[in-house]
Amino acid sequence: MKDKIALEEHLSTPLNNTLWDSVGEATRNGKAYMDDVERRLLDVDLLLKTMDQNGIDIAVMSLTSPGTQALTDPAKACDFAVRNNDYIAEKVTSRAPKRLRAFATVALQSPRHAADELERAVKTLGAKGAMINGHTNIGDANCAQYLDEKPVWEFWDRVAALDVPVYIHPREPLPNQCRIYDGYPSLVGSAMGFGQDAAVHAVRLILSGLFDRYPNLVVILGHLGEGLPFILPRIEHRLIKQSEGVGMGGLKLKPMEYLSRNFYVTTSGHFNTRPLFATINELGVEHVLFSVDYPYESMEEGGQWFDNAMINENDRRMIGRTNAQSLLRL
């Protein structure tokens, strides 16, 4: 397939690199691997060449995790978001405007500023929505604000008004919540900790009533939905059983109904056909999108798997291109 669209693809900026813990990342993930990742995060020419080699027509780029969400000073976080969005528009997407698009980075340390910056990025810079790297640090590295909490609903008001999606990307759990991974540091990040943290975050959004208030709101999750197509039916079952359904919090729909209505999921970093089938069965092919997770994952590996996966060609076309075209108005 020669014209795929990928939308969980990452970059960095010189400003963002001032936050980059390259020593810690190399310790967890291997120095050679991280050296290659860091090189690719800053190389737009190499990105475009790699897209050409693997049949990817359009890539929607976003600032690599944890980005803005890791800053504990609200004023610095707001300035950081603006400067990175401007840099990406001026130095990255402008290089190939028909092929490179972007999700805005926003500083939820100030929900009002995040709302204003998202609107500016969408209307002025051409952003296709926002990428939020999980919880936002408030005060210190062990204190988090999640997207379902009341201060953030001001931000969701603007998202709904702009009618753009929000991509929730994982990040590592709070340092004081990593006891379960002690002795196994390689599990803290993308191997396991990322997915668990993002999955619980998404369930919080569902149970908060956010999608009753904004029934047309769209959230995107990577990695085939961070496991939710497989574990949310069990969660729903137990919530209904517990205390005669009190755990559902008065929601209008069941959790799985929100997942299949308000969420899209991507194939980023999850190049396995059987889980893809299960995801399609739960959410419908209309809510599945091709992605790679570049440069943490290989466009060659992700592209070859997808191009040769045993799915029908209509589904391949929808997942590979037309669903993203429709959702992001490309």
Neighbours of 124 (CB within 10 A): 11
Neighbours of 10 (CB within 10 A): 24
Distance between CA atoms of 59 and 67, rounded to whole angstroms? 19
Distance between CA atoms of 226 and 303, rounded to whole angstroms? 20
Distance between CA atoms of 107 and 75, rounded to whole angstroms? 9
In the chain, the N- to C-terminal Cα span, in Å, equals 18
Decide if 270 contacts 291 (C-beta within 8 A). no
DSSP 3-state of 137: strand
Decide if 13 contacts 61 (C-beta within 8 A). no
Tokens of 172: 């590592």
Distance between CA atoms of 20 and 30, rounded to whole angstroms? 15
Decide if 8 contacts 222 (C-beta within 8 A). yes
Q: Which of 45, 293, 307, 315 is catalytic?
A: 293
For residue 283, give the H/E element and its range: helix 273-283
Q: Residue 276's closest CA among 292, 261, 290, 263?
A: 290
Tokens of 274: 């059987």
Distance between CA atoms of 328 and 261, rounded to whole angstroms? 16
Distance between CA atoms of 10 and 60, rounded to whole angstroms? 8
Q: Is 293 a catalytic residue?
A: yes
Tokens of 95: 């290089």
Name the β-bridge partners of 325.
Answer: none
For residue 15, give the H/E element and its range: helix 14-17
Show which residues are catalytic.
293
